[in-house]
Amino acid sequence: MTNTKILPFTDESIAEAARLILAGEPVAVPTETVYGLAADATNAEAVARIYDAKKRPSFNPLIVHVPDLAAARRIGQFDAQALALARRHWPGPLTLVVPLRKDANIASFVTAGLPTVGLRVPDHSAIQALLRACCRPLAAPSANASGSISPTRAAHVMKSLGGRILLVIDGGATVRGIESTIVAATGGPLRVLRRGPIEIDAAPASGTSIEAPGQLVSHYAPTKPLRLKARSAESDEYLIGFADIEGDANLSRAGDLVEAASRLFDLLHQADASSKARIAIAPVPDEGLGAAINDRLRRASAGRK
Ligand code: TXA
Ligand code: MG
């Protein structure tokens, strides 16, 4: 447990929030949709602390918040359709899922290993001030514990995450009250991935389809077979170690689950790209972030989606 400070939105509180974010701590901040739990999207361990605070049982790709379209275009590739939507609705409650640029400095943990990224330019002075103060893209899911409802007031955040994060910026009630509309613009027809405040008027003729979230997110999984709870490697296996089980790489020699989570997708990609035909991974304790790591590994070993 830690002492959670709640400060009104001022220049001073934003400066303090930016210091915490640059030190790798998540901070709760209002957007126009819901309060977000924001962390430096270039720092995988900082993003792993979001999951730790939320006690989230699985890893999903997170939305990356940026101050403007120019910043978004340094991270994602925008085709004509994506550009038109961005110009029309940003800043605002629209998230665009676009191909991730190769030179984007975003931790692979943020996109859960996917080659696409969800980007949003929020329309709220508090998160805008924070983005400009820390000069970093911010990954931010809703600032609530897993399974509870999305927070539209600082008091909701305190009730859900009090004692688990260091700072909540209080900017009053959010005006939209529900999470952003998510649209995928990854080539082919636009797809609405999550309905929200912005209605995307695309005729059925354009091939737009509504899919439930979770259904649509094709989660990253390695292309090679994956063996779990391995204590040593077979000759054709690339072993990802943990703690004192050494391998070709190690999730965390110290046995630190935040570090392990933050390195998970990088090491799976590394194992997938190695000369070995199969992947093995050492046992990870099923507690805290370990449960989310094991959830992801079980899905990855169960077959490709
Ligand atoms: O209103 C909002 O969007 C709030 C505020 C805080 O900005 N944020 C929010 O973020 O709801 P988050 O990280 O919880 O949204 C994650 C969802 C994923 O579950 C998935 O549906 C979609 O965004 N998403 C993000 N990146 C994606 C990707 N690369 N491919 C497919 N879906 C993605
Ligand atoms: Mg949520």
Burial track 143-162 (b if 16+ CB lie within 10 A, e otherwise): bbbeeeebbbbbebbbebbe
Averaged pLDDT in 10-residue chunks for the chain of 305 residues: 96 98 98 98 98 92 98 98 97 98 96 96 98 98 92 96 98 95 94 92 47 51 94 98 98 97 95 97 96 92 64
pLDDT of residue 211: 43
Strand ranges across the sheet with 226-227: 226-227, 278-281, 237-241, 249-250
C-beta 63 within 6 A of ligand 1: yes
> Among 242, 220, 213, 292, which residue's Cα sits nearest to residue 49?
292
Residue nearest to atom 10 of ligand 1 (CA): 141
Nearest ligand, CA of residue 34?
1
pLDDT of residue 218: 58
Residue nearest to atom 17 of ligand 1 (CA): 62
pTM exceeding the 0.85 threshold for the entire prediction: yes
Q: Give per-residue pLDDT as tens, 251-290.
A: 999 999 999 999 999 999 999 999 999 999 999 999 999 9
C-beta 181 within 6 A of ligand 1: no
Q: For residues 121 and 109, what is the distance between their CA atoms, to the nearest angstrom?
A: 20
Q: Give per-residue pLDDT as tens, 60-69.
A: 999 999 999 9
Q: Give per-residue pLDDT as tens, 79-106.
A: 999 999 999 999 999 999 999 999 999 9
pLDDT of residue 148: 86
| C-beta of residue 137 within 8 angstroms of C-beta of residue 116 | no
